[in-house]
């Protein structure tokens, strides 16, 4: 069978640099005669080849991405006839030479001639109430880091003709998002880091990309931005947290970018030093706090050479507003350490044993006597 695909390629661009604008392609309309006894009006039309710089289908390995229309894909045609309506347009054929796609759909009988419509690809990107396109947060909420058609959301406009059934596409379906190929590396870019998940934060919106398994290469769709701070956080396959950010970022929809994320572990935010019973000093104030709670018969005390000690006490480290803690390193009376890399960040003792424990494990069983300080690592929330 003749290979019915059409190819468009992305020009490669570094992060923050847009590619060339899309070429305008006219739309050919092929009307068909409408049977007089039809319950609806069936329209067959021909869409021109995709003109924007995205439809994520496959990476050619040459810094370009192939884009195609494909048979049996579905496009939502949103229009009004006694209220919001949607027609399911199916791509019935793709010309192997020109790349044009033939679509077929049916509108409600009685739809007026020259009815304005919105074309939404894929069909699932249309709102359930038929009023338009789902917002970016919804469309980009379940990314898995692979290059697939779900990244290629397109919106166009047209006019439905019903006297002589046809579709006049006034605006070709255009890609709504930029597509990135992120390669995750360490701070000096000397080695890659496999991560799962990767979170991209723009303003207050978090886009979480969760691959099937940890990887250093992730394809991500993002809405266009201008002069924004874009922040990244990820959990490595080593269970460590990695972060990086970039200020003044600008990128455009319908463009393809490749970027290396040089990520590092979050810095030391503050050191909490025991100074008295339930008392502490902070190397940097207003970053985190330590609070104490007790078992039914628990109590705590302070000794200069032991720090906080006692039986049945719990010390919990919590971040101040605007901060994220990624790990705490607890130091006992002899500067032996235990690390907690997952909230809640807690060190505790039992009513039977004063040995400080982190995640249920003694720092040094029957030897550690108290906690003298806590190093708190993390970052400012974007």
Mean pLDDT, residues 307-321? 97
Q: Are residues 199 and 227 in the same domain?
A: yes
Q: Are residues 363 and 273 in the same domain?
A: yes
Enumerate residues 6+ apart whose C-beta is below 8 A from 220: 143, 145, 179, 180, 182, 198, 200, 207, 209
Cβ–Cβ < 8 Å for 167, 32: no
Mean pLDDT, residues 152-158? 93
Percent of the chain with pLDDT over 90: 74
Confidence class of residue 311 from pLDDT cuts 50, 70 and 90? very high
Q: For residue 62, is pLDDT > 70?
A: no
Q: For residue 331, is pLDDT > 90?
A: yes
| pLDDT at site 19 | 25
Mean pLDDT of the chain: 86
Q: Are residues 50 and 127 in the same domain?
A: yes
- 371's enclosing H/E stretch is strand 371-380
| pLDDT at site 32 | 34
> Do the domain assignments include residue 3?
no
Kindly report, residue by residue over 334-380, the tens digit of the pLDDT.
Answer: 999 999 998 999 999 999 999 999 999 999 998 999 999 999 999 99
Kindly report, residue by residue over 5-45, the tens digit of the pLDDT.
Answer: 333 332 223 222 222 222 223 223 233 333 333 357 878 77
Mean pLDDT, residues 279-305? 97
Confidence class of residue 302 from pLDDT cuts 50, 70 and 90? very high
| pLDDT at site 97 | 85
Cβ–Cβ < 8 Å for 313, 347: no
Q: For residue 207, is pLDDT > 50?
A: yes
- Residue 235 sits in a domain whose CATH number is 2.60.40.1120
Confidence class of residue 222 from pLDDT cuts 50, 70 and 90? very high
Q: Which residues pair with 230 in a beta bridge?
A: 202, 246
CA–CA distance, 295 with 376 (Å, rounded to integer): 25
Enumerate residues 6+ apart whose C-beta is below 8 A from 138: none
Domain count, the chain: 3
> Do the domain assignments include residue 19?
yes
| pLDDT at site 40 | 78
Q: For residue 329, is pLDDT > 70?
A: yes
CA–CA distance, 43 with 35 (Å, rounded to integer): 11
> Do the domain assignments include residue 162?
yes
Q: Are residues 304 and 363 in the same domain?
A: yes
> Do the domain assignments include residue 113?
yes
Q: Are residues 87 and 99 in the same domain?
A: yes
Confidence class of residue 80 from pLDDT cuts 50, 70 and 90? very high
CA–CA distance, 73 with 83 (Å, rounded to integer): 26
Give the end of a domain, one of 238, 262, 286.
Answer: 262
Mean pLDDT, residues 44-61? 59
Q: For residue 2, is pLDDT > 70?
A: no
Q: Are residues 99 and 215 in the same domain?
A: no
Cβ–Cβ < 8 Å for 22, 53: yes
Kindly report, residue by residue over 226-283, the tens digit of the pLDDT.
Answer: 999 999 999 999 989 999 999 999 999 988 899 999 999 999 999 999 999 999 999 9
Q: Are residues 281 and 361 in the same domain?
A: yes
- 138's enclosing H/E stretch is helix 136-139
Q: Are residues 158 and 61 in the same domain?
A: yes
Domain that holds residue 330: 268-380
Confidence class of residue 61 from pLDDT cuts 50, 70 and 90? low
Mean pLDDT, residues 291-297? 96
Q: What is the dihedral of CA 321, 327, 332, 337, to 10 degrees?
A: -170
pTM of the model: 0.75
Q: Are residues 253 and 276 in the same domain?
A: no
| pLDDT at site 201 | 95
Write out the E strands in 123-165: 154-161
3-state secondary structure string across 176-197:
CEEEEEEEEECCCCCCECCEEE
Q: Which residues pair with 318 in a beta bridge?
A: 289
Q: For residue 215, which of 240, 244, 231, 235 has the smallest C-alpha distance?
A: 235
The 3-state DSSP composition of the chain as helix, strand, coil percent (nearest 5) reads: 5, 55, 45
Question: 33 in helix, strand or coil?
Answer: coil
Give the residue with greater pLDDT, 56 vs 279. 279
| pLDDT at site 371 | 98
Least confident segment among 56-70, 156-170, 188-202, 291-305 = 56-70
| pLDDT at site 46 | 75
| pLDDT at site 37 | 32
Confidence class of residue 68 from pLDDT cuts 50, 70 and 90? confident
Cβ–Cβ < 8 Å for 203, 214: no
CA–CA distance, 79 with 41 (Å, rounded to integer): 13
CA–CA distance, 364 with 205 (Å, rounded to integer): 43
Q: Are residues 297 and 155 in the same domain?
A: no
- 236's enclosing H/E stretch is strand 225-236
| pLDDT at site 28 | 32
User: Which tokens is 247 given?
Assistant: 């200020």
| pLDDT at site 90 | 96
| pLDDT at site 336 | 97
């Amino acid at each position: 069978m003749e290979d019915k695909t059409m190819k468009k390629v992305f020009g490669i661009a570094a992060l923050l640099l847009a590619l060339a604008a899309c070429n305008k392609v006219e739309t050919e309309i092929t009307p068909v005669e409408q049977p007089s006894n039809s319950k609806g009006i069936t329209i067959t039309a021909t869409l021109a080849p995709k003109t924007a710089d995205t439809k994520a289908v496959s990476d050619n390995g040459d810094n370009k991405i192939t884009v195609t229309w494909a048979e049996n894909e579905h496009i939502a045609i949103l229009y009004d006839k006694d209220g919001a309506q949607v027609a399911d347009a199916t791509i019935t054929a793709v010309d192997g030479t020109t790349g044009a796609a033939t679509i077929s759909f049916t509108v409600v009988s009685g739809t007026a001639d020259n009815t304005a419509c919105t074309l939404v690809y894929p069909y699932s990107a249309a709102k359930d109430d038929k009023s338009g396109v789902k917002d970016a947060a919804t469309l980009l909420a379940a990314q898995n880091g692979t290059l697939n058609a779900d990244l290629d959301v397109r919106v166009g406009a047209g006019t439905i003709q019903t006297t002589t059934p046809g579709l006049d596409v006034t605006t070709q379906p255009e890609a709504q998002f930029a597509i990135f190929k992120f390669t995750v590396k360490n701070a000096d870019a000397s080695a890659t880091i496999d991560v799962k998940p990767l979170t991209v934060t723009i303003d207050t919106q978090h886009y979480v990309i969760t691959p099937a398994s940890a990887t250093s290469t992730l394809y991500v769709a993002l809405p266009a931005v201008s002069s924004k701070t874009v922040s990244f956080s990820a959990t490595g396959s080593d269970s460590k947290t990695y972060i990086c950010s970039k200020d003044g970022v600008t990128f455009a929809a319908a463009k393809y970018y490749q970027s290396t994320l040089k990520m590092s572990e979050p810095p030391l935010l503050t050191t909490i030093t025991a100074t008295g019973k339930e008392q502490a000093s902070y190397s940097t104030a207003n970053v985190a706090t330590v609070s104490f709670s007790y078992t039914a018969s628990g109590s705590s005390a302070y000794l200069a050479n032991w720090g906080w000690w006692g039986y049945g006490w719990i010390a919990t480290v919590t971040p101040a507003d605007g901060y994220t803690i990624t790990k705490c390193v607890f130091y006992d009376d002899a500067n032996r350490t235990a690390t907690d890399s997952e909230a809640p960040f807690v060190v505790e003792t039992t009513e039977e044993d004063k040995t400080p424990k982190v995640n249920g494990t003694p720092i040094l069983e029957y030897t550690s006597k108290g906690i003298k300080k806590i190093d708190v690592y993390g970052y400012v929330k974007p």
